[in-house]
């Protein structure tokens, strides 16, 4: 297995496919690098080096009690980038991974970054506050925590429906996709499954977004039931200088899977542009 070890002893697993300009992927909660396999295979087949790690506590990486926060996630990403000496990279982050990319740029700058892509991403802030009235109330995230604690396995099975928009009328449901979501969720450790909820819901990434100084694509579905577009992409695309916002009508949170051909073409065009 390909792994690096961070300064606190956590082993971070990663996939490294193909050769050429690097594209680095940061996945969402509670998934793993496998959530990006469609994008990675597509781009690696077209002359790009595709790298995706399992965030600490997720997938095949270590399951530490500590460090399940955006600062540490970003520092783990920086450690991977430094260890592999990745330069001129396109960073692609989905959901919590979009927050990881934002905090990585906020903490470590863009000296190794050429472009950024935020897909269904959590920035600037998911939680409803007086300063962020369009966010989701804390009760929504308390329910997620309760679901993880009560019956984690069933919770992942149930969450796969809104994640991929399979709860919408006329949706073409893939039980295989749902089982993959469940499997990736169960590979995540209990601490990360629980503590990451606070990380992705309560971390304000506004100042990080202001530090973006590379071409940025913000991609979001307007029927995203996990990260509603109004408090995320519609705001972050205004904060990031010269960001390109692309909204997919009717698309769910998990559109990298359900609309993989469209997303793949969008990514390739942006990378080449």
Write down the catalytic residue from 62, 95, 180, 201: 95
Known active-site residue 82: no
Write down the catalytic residue from 26, 224, 232, 237: 224
Known active-site residue 34: no
User: What is the DSSP track for 133-162?
Assistant: TTSB-HHHHHHHHHHHHHHHHHHHHHHHHH
Tokens in use for 244? 């390109």
β-pair partners for 48: 21
Residues 64 and 56 sit within 8 Å (Cβ to Cβ):
yes
Known active-site residue 95: yes
Q: For 161, what's the count of Cα atoms within 13 Å in the CB-facing half-sphere?
A: 8
Q: Give the dihedral of Cα atoms 200, 50, 247, 183; nearest 10 deg.
A: -50
Residues 13 and 53 sit within 8 Å (Cβ to Cβ):
yes
Write down the catalytic residue from 27, 58, 220, 253: 253
Q: Annotated catalytic sites, by residue?
A: 95, 224, 253
């Amino acid at each position: 297995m390909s792994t690096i070890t961070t300064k606190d002893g956590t082993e971070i697993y990663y996939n490294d496919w193909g050769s050429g300009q690097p594209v680095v992927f940061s996945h969402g909660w509670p998934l793993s690098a496998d959530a990006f396999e469609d994008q990675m295979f597509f781009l690696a087949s077209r002359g790009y080096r595709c790298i995706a790690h399992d965030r600490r506590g997720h997938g095949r990486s270590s399951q530490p009690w500590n460090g399940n926060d955006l600062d540490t996630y970003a520092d783990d990403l920086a450690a991977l980038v430094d260890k592999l000496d990745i330069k001129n990279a396109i960073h692609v982050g989905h959901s919590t991974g979009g927050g990881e990319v934002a905090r990585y740029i906020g903490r470590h700058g863009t000296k190794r970054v050429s472009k950024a892509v935020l897909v269904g991403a959590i920035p600037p802030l998911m939680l409803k506050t007086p300063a962020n009235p369009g966010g989701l109330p804390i009760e929504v995230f308390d329910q997620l925590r309760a679901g993880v604690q009560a019956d984690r396995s069933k919770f992942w099975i149930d969450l796969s429906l809104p994640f991929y928009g399979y709860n919408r009328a006329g949706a073409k449901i893939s039980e295989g996709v749902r089982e993959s979501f469940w499997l990736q969720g169960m590979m995540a450790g209990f601490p990360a499954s629980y503590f990451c909820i606070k990380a992705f819901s309560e971390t304000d990434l506004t100042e990080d977004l202001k530090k973006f100084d590379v071409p940025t694509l913000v991609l979001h579905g307007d029927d995203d039931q996990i990260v509603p577009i109004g408090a995320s992409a519609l705001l972050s695309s205004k904060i990031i200088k010269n960001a390109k916002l692309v909204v997919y009508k009717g698309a769910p949170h998990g559109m990298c899977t359900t609309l993989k051909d469209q997303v793949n073409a969008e990514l390739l065009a942006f990378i080449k542009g």
